[in-house]
Amino acid sequence: MGEPVFFPRLRPQPVTKGLKLGRGADFIGCNMLTGTYTAIVTPFRGGKFDAPAFKRLIEMQIKGGVDGIVPAGTTGESPTLDYKEHIELIARAVEYARGRIRVMAGTGGNSTSEAVYLTQEAEKAGADSSLQVAPYYNKPSQEGLFQHFLEISRATKLPLVLYSIPSRCGVEIGVETVRRLAGATPRVVGIKEAGGNADRVSQLRAALGSRFSIFSGDDALTLPFMSLGADGVISVVSNVLPRQVSRLVAAFRAGNPSAALKIHQQLYPLFKDLFIETNPLPVKAALAMMGFIEEEYRLPLVPMSAKNRAILKSTLLECGALRHD
């Protein structure tokens, strides 16, 4: 496929030369995508990607025991990144992770050729897998979704995790479409389920069996989803408290649901208040309060209201993410 031409993003210069390929092939044919993956934010300083802050965040995640990170996802403000930034962000994530955690690159898009291009660049950069959001705004049919993801799968060796979030995309990836894709290509190995419907987990597990990875895409539903067969979470809250979220998931997977429930109850106020305004506004505000990043966004996102910021700060103090002065 030729070089794509879309809305105004900059044509990237190569930034991945000399980086080794990822371990994507390790995933094919077996369920290795499990546990806690952090949908990591993209820190900015003076309007530019803040690489030193990004490195600090990744070290925090590694120390917190997460299984992987998702750079350049929608929590990472991918719609406002140009191509060069998008690819650099993934390459930096691979560089900073150094094989200590997995890197699931956010390379989806509402243009199939764009998603193909970014996925191929992520593979060159050494990503382990790719998260593929449903095309937003276009509202394709289920056949259109099938053809979109199939085309991406043909262009890469990376394992692909679909991302169904109908509230943002205007379309849900149907269970039958997921089943068709998993049968048509070994590349489609999982799904991030963010529709808020626990029944979908049962449907997906029944249709796809135990080898297909299912992630909760909603922190508050991680425990309910895992009780129905999900394998973990792609989390926003773990940006702030990676160890606690990792322990919740690990406890349930180890057969200790009471311990997982206890952590869930402790974290529940944060599960709600980190979404008191549009993601990623609260999580970036929280990380700024904690001293990890500058609180900087790109338009059309703007800082939180003073009222909601005060609520968030109180919850962060309550959950132990912040200390009282």
The residues carrying an active-site annotation are: 163, 192
Dist. CA 66–CA 37, nearest whole Å: 6
Answer yes or no: are the C-beta atoms of 192 and 164 closer than 8 Å: yes
DSSP codes of every residue in 31-53: ----EEEE-----EETTEE-HHH
Answer yes or no: are the C-beta atoms of 38 and 66 closer than 8 Å: yes
DSSP symbol at 103 = E
DSSP symbol at 282 = H
Q: CA 268: distance to chain centroid? A: 20
Single out the residue of 227, 162, 149, 242 nearest to residue 195, CA to CA: 162
Dist. CA 221–CA 199, nearest whole Å: 12
What are the phi and psi torsion angles at 234 (to 5°)? -100, 105
- For residue 106, list its beta bridge partners: 131
Single out the residue of 57, 131, 51, 63 nearest to residue 92, CA to CA: 51
Answer yes or no: are the C-beta atoms of 30 and 190 closer than 8 Å: no
